[in-house]
Structure 1
Amino acid sequence: MLNNQDASHWLREVEEALGDVRTNMPLGRLVNTAQRAQLCVEYSAKAVISCFARPAWEHNPGSQLMTLIQENDADIRARFGEIMIQRLIQLAKDAADAAPWHVISTYGRREHDGARSWPTDLCTQANAQWLAELAERSFLTAREFITAWLNST
Structure 2
Amino acid sequence: MPTEYLRYDKMVENALRGVVREALRQAGERGLPGNHHFYLTFRTNDAGVQIPDYLRDQYPSEMTIVLQYQFYGLEVEEDKFGVTLSFNNSHERLIVPFAAITTFADPSVNFALQFQPLGGQDGPVGVDETEEDEVAEVADEDTAKTGGTPKPADDAKMGQVVALDAFRKK
The TM-score, its normalising length taken from structure 2, stands at 0.24
The structure whose residues are more often strand, as a share, is 2
Report which structure shows greater RCO (CA 8 Å, sep ≥6): 1
The TM-score, its normalising length taken from structure 1, stands at 0.26
The structure whose residues are more often helix, as a share, is 1
